[in-house]
Structures are given as C-alpha cells and as structure tokens.
Amino acid sequence: TQVQAMILGEHGDSMVPIWSMAQIANLPLEKFPGVNPTLIAEVEKKTRGSGAEVIKKKGGAGFAVGVSIADVVHSIALDDNRIHPVSSLMSGAYGVRDVCFSIPTVMGRSGVKSHIEVELWSKEKTALVQSANVLKETIAKVLSK
C-alpha cells in the first residue's frame, strides 16, 4: 500500500494515530490533495472499530497477528535490532512508566533493547499519555476484583 500511518499506545478506543508522520505515496498527509480534517476524523473512527469488525466478520485476526509475531521472532533469533511497533513495558518514553503499550521498539536476542521516541505533535503526546492512563485504570480495576 502507498499509505503509511502509525498507531501508538493501546490498540482500542484510546489508540493514538500519529497523523504528524502519516504519508501517502511518500507525501506528508497534510499536503496530499483532498485530505481534510473531516476525512481524517472519518478514517480515525473506522480505524478504532476495525479490529472488532475483523473479529466479527472473520472470527479473529490470526493471520495478521501471526505475520507480526513471525517478524518479532525473526528479530530475536537473528539479533537483528529491527524496529517493531510492539507493546512493551514503558520506563520513561514520552513520560510514561509502569504500563505496557505500543511504540517503536528495537528488538533483538535479549528482547526489547530500546524504545524509539519519535517527535510528535503536542496533541499526540497528550493523547499518548491519556492512552497510558486508560490502560493503568483498566489494570487497577481488574486487580481490585
């Protein structure tokens, strides 16, 4: 596909699309003809519901998940230090600690080697911290039962 976009945080209602880095055919999204705030809001809404839609229609997203798992296992086995968009324990990236969520992560034989903090718009950083807080609240609710 010629569309490249990254989702950080959790992959659910508090996911954070990183519009500041999105591209179509290597052109920044905001410079692409026809892209406007209404279209972006519609794409974001569909993206938030797409996981549930795939599960509803197919019964699961096993193949796509399997391909991603194979890529991560490959990096671990070959110690190739590739960057993967995986969920792992945060220890300060974007000011977030003590919760697992997805950001670009260097993977190798020892597992997570480092997190890559890409420059984000301030509203994206705020949304990412909020995503972490949503996850922390959910964990607290589960552990209190």
CATH class of the domain comprising 3-144: alpha beta
* Pairing, β 3-4 against β 111-115: unpaired
Determine what percent of the chain falls in helix, strand and coil, rounding each to the nearest 5: 50, 25, 25
Q: What does the domain layout of the chain look like in residue ranges? A: 3-144
pLDDT at 79: 97
Res 62 pLDDT > 70: no
Identify the residue whose tokens are 């229609």: 57
Q: Which distant-in-sequence residues (6+ apart) come within 8 Å of 49 by Cβ? A: none
Instruction: Determine the Cα–Cα distance for residues 72 and 12; give it in Å rounded to an integer.
Output: 21
Per-residue pLDDT tens digits for 66-97? 888 999 999 999 999 999 999 999 999 999 99
| Residues identified as active-site | 11
**pLDDT tens digits for range 28-60:** 998 889 899 999 999 888 888 776 676 777 776
